[in-house]
Chains A and B, each alone.
Chain A
Amino acid sequence: MNTRRVFLKNSALAIFGVGAIPSWLSRSVYAGDVHTKRRKKILIAIFQRGAVDGLNMVVPFGEPRYYQLRPSIAIPRPDGTPASAVDLDGFFGLHPSLASLKPMFDARHLAIVDAVGSPDPTRSHFDAQDYMESGTPGLKATGDGWMNRALLKPVGPASPLRAVSLGSGLSRTLRGPNDAIAVNNLNDFQVKDQKSAATFESMYDHSHDTVLHGTGKETFSAVKIMQSIQKQRYTPANGAKYPGGKFGQNLQQIARLIKADVGIEVAFAEIGGWDTHVNEANQLANNLTEFGQSLAALYQDLGDRMEDVTVVTMSEFGRTVRENGDRGTDHGHANVMFVMGGDIRGGKVYGDWPGLADDEQLYEGRDLNLTTDFRDVLGELVSRHMGNRNLKAVFPGYNNPKFRGLLPVA
């Protein structure tokens, strides 16, 4: 673990100087959780908003009817040409635009779960996203998100940056009783007039405004930590190249926060544009390229740190097995999730494939059937990666998640 110690010395300690390490920081740097003697694990959730076409993301090329039902948009069987699927296990293949992820699959750091999703039948983007983010399908009254509830009770003072939502709004996934902040751009996360920062802090700190007070307080504790990060220029390690779009930039910012050792435990990022009702092929290919290259860059950039990091991707529902009249697909049911990390048992497509052979095998005669509940996947990560065993509190009403064995039993 030599590399790790060297890294710590260069980042966090250098930021604060000797003797100025906040108490919560020293914990996150040195010990993780003192009681379990585990280093702090980090979970990154990625939401593909708009319902990605999972059947073209991970192609069931071993399923002949896939080609019958998608005459113009099916991805060809793997034949080594650039437009064909990238073979994973003789039955499933990656969309060619995700080729950047194949090395991670081969290194067993990337696992795929297929025919997975929310058991709720809704085909409304809004509701389905809401259910997946709250972690309570079918229940609208849940006010907070699963990832906020997944945070362990801090042993000492908690880092104001333990839960970070990338983007201009705080994602539903991260809302809740634990402090969580939204960050659009690390460098802009400040009051630009230094002198006024303290004035605003005092206003919001003492405010009786029930809505703004809490957020204001979180904001200013985070601003102070962020100042130290902002002073340092960031260069991705190991030659990692993030794509130019917002998503890649957000993953880079997450990497920056992780490497600064400021106590981040969970992070959330999203990428849109998957609602491919019309002319799916090009749009999906472009989006998947950005998606795959961003994940690959994060993996490369984090290097050894991936040991403590797990990334999980999800999308509200899948899309119809049949292509529609516009060379696109409509709203469907089950989908696919990616799980990437150093402690993941990767290199495998998990799940029970329900088949596409006839309409009987399909959900309501049109969509991929669901054989894994998304909470089985998230629950396993929360429990075995983050070490939070109280899944009843994280996914209320879902009492017996069936783990797929993505992680070894700790």
Chain B
Amino acid sequence: MKKRALVAALVFALPLASSPKSDKRFQKKLGKDDQILHALDRLTFGPRPGDVERVKKIGLKKWIGQQLHPEQIKENVALELQLLPLESLRMTPMETVQRYPPPQLIKAIADGKQPLPEDPVLRATVERLVARYKARKGEVPAGNGAELEPVHPLDEVLEPWELQTLRAGTPDKKRELLETMPPDKLEEMLVAMPRPQRQKLFDSAPTDVRRKILLLNAPQQVVAFDLLESKLLRAIESNRQLAEELDDFWFNHFNVFYEKGSDRFLIPEYERDAIRPNVLGKFRDLLEATAKSPAMLFYLDNFQSVRADVDANNKNRKVKRGLNENYGRELMELHTLGVNGGYTQQDVTEVARCFTGWTILEPRKGGGFFYNDKLHDKGEKVVLGHVIPAGGGMDDGEKVLDILATHPSTAHFISKELAQRFVADDPPNSLVEQMAQTFLATGGDIREVMKTMLDSKEFWSQGAYRAKLKTPFEMVASSVRALGADVTDAWALANQVGTLGEPLYRKQEPTGYSNLNSEWVNSAALLNRMNFGLQLAKNGVAGVKVDTRRFGNNPDAVAKTLMFRSASSQTRSAINKALKDQKQRTPGLVAGLVIGSPDFQRR
């Protein structure tokens, strides 16, 4: 019982101030070899084969210096090639809406309120979707609408052997067939297929075919898949690992939710233009980029927040528009000051007034940020004691961002969050204070704050070493990296991240996911991690190939290959016993057991 109590205390007690005992752990220095592994565990999505040697050769200090300047690192060409077909990543929201029409647009076209697109392929897709919409509404009987009928039936498009392969071939054979099919024929085939049959090809389809399937079945899904795919591919294959870790950190800090209306087509631009360029830049720039991003304006409703009296004299408006506090509150609570950062309900209202008129031009059609002075509250506001004089415009909001970005509470809150992500759940106050000082002294320079952390003795201490549990995203990416697996498609891996408890782009609450271990420790998630390890190592995850021959049956050797350190004696003896009991050994079994082990869950 004693042990249980201890476990509970460790998992659940979040010390407000670090206890002297834990401070001692943060004073003990790490050995040289452990330092390299520690850096790889924390600043990357887990070491790949050869990484330790690579860092050793470059020198740890220099390698960290490189990671802090991602723009100077040459990106992995293979990754860039893989990202190339994911076209929605590079589009403006307006292009995205047109290219991957959401259901509302289909409805508008069906109702004659919008014209059909001009691009012939897209036009064909939209025509079919319009027909399906009408059939569902009962306007046209299903199957009778001309657009629903393919030009040629499937058995005219494909040879019998091709049909046979698609019906009963191995995934590899199917993929080969799809990869070698001429584009015209491929399109004709996909069009001729009934929807469910098309969907069944999904698992074995190469990227461009998969995108075509989605485009025909549910065009908006292409955007979601491109996002997920790119997130996983970058985490696994990018040379700019720290930047990818920070992209995950900042996106989560400024969380937006994919399932909320227009955010379905606004998020690619948000991550690309607001988050990614600023992950090691000035906090003030990052803050303004998110404040002006249509994705955030939509997610936290500010695009609809207007001065309270805007419709007071408008008799035509039965429903009067007015102030919405949602963004004003979360801006202070979650983005800058922190909940105990010293603001009041009055401040929330005043901040909301400052941001009235910060809106989106045509929010349902993918328009950009737009300041509408007519909707702005021109009165005087007082924010955290600062007077913002009457008669201001868009600069009222910018002044608020200035006040918040330079506030000591913000410096402290951001520093603590970074330390919780990169050092330990309970980082010593001394470290957080040091980082906060840098934050204030450098005008919120994130790179400098990171440097302070990476130069601190606390970062390189026993207290930090293996103190973090991997998030599901880190767990999935690090497994693939450790296995040296070949990833052709990453959507199935992204689904796994969701199964382990962290559906990417789908955290509904503005808090984002917690930085703390306790978020991920529970029975359901733990079982899923074990199952994932076994499945991945026996090549059971679509789009990922593991060369199981790399891994023998010696648990310690396998552990060393995957974790670059010995397994704990408990893990080793459990695997040894399993090997003794099992005569028939599945290739990859030992690797799967190591990935599912308690040892592998830490970083």
Contact = CB atoms under 8 A, between A and B. Distances in A.
Given A71-B319, A219-B523, A327-B319, A196 B589 contact: yes
A214 B530 contact: no
A143 B13 contact: yes
B322 interface: yes
Interface in A203-252: 203-204, 206-216, 218-219, 222-223
A140 B570 CA distance: 36
Given A207-B570, A210-B7, A325-B322, A125 B509 contact: yes
B497 to A, nearest CB: 11
Interface stretch (A12-20, A163-171, A305-313, A349-357): A163-171
Interface stretch (A3-11, A53-61, A106-114, A271-279): A271-279
B521 A215 contact: yes
A190 B527 contact: yes
Contacts of B113: none
Interface SS, A side: loop
A183 interface: yes
B574 A199 contact: yes
B602 interface: yes
A109 B582 CA distance: 55
B577 interface: yes
A213 to B, nearest CB: 6
Given A203-B597, A213-B7, A198 B578 contact: yes
B11 interface: yes
Contacts of A200: 530, 574, 593, 596-597
B598 A209 contact: yes
A325 B8 contact: no
A189 B499 CA distance: 12
A144 B12 contact: yes
Interface residues of B, number: 76
Nearest to B7: A214
B22 interface: no
A184 interface: yes
Given A181-B523, A211-B517, A219-B523, A126 B511 contact: yes
A325 B523 contact: no
A222 B526 CA distance: 13
Contacts of B135: none
A203 B525 contact: no
- The range of chain A's interface size is 35 or more
A216 B324 contact: no
B518 interface: yes
B21 interface: no
Contacts of B575: 199, 203
Interface string B514-541: 0001111111111110110011000000
Nearest to A216: B526
Interface string A174-195: 0111000111110011111101
A140 B305 CA distance: 32
Interface of A: 49-50, 71-72, 121-127, 140-141, 143-144, 165, 167-170, 175-177, 181-185, 188-193, 195-196, 198-200, 202-204, 206-216, 218-219, 222-223, 272-273, 275, 277-278, 324-328, 330-331, 364
User: Which 5 residue pairs are nearest across A and B when measured between Cβ atoms?
Assistant: A325-B322, A143-B12, A182-B522, A214-B7, A219-B523
Interface of B: 3-14, 16, 301, 304-306, 308, 310, 318-326, 329, 333-334, 339, 345, 348, 469, 500-501, 508-511, 517-528, 530-531, 534-535, 568, 570-571, 573-575, 577-578, 581-582, 589, 592-593, 596-599, 601-602
6 contacts: A168-B500, A200-B593, A202-B577, A206-B570, A212-B598, A272-B508
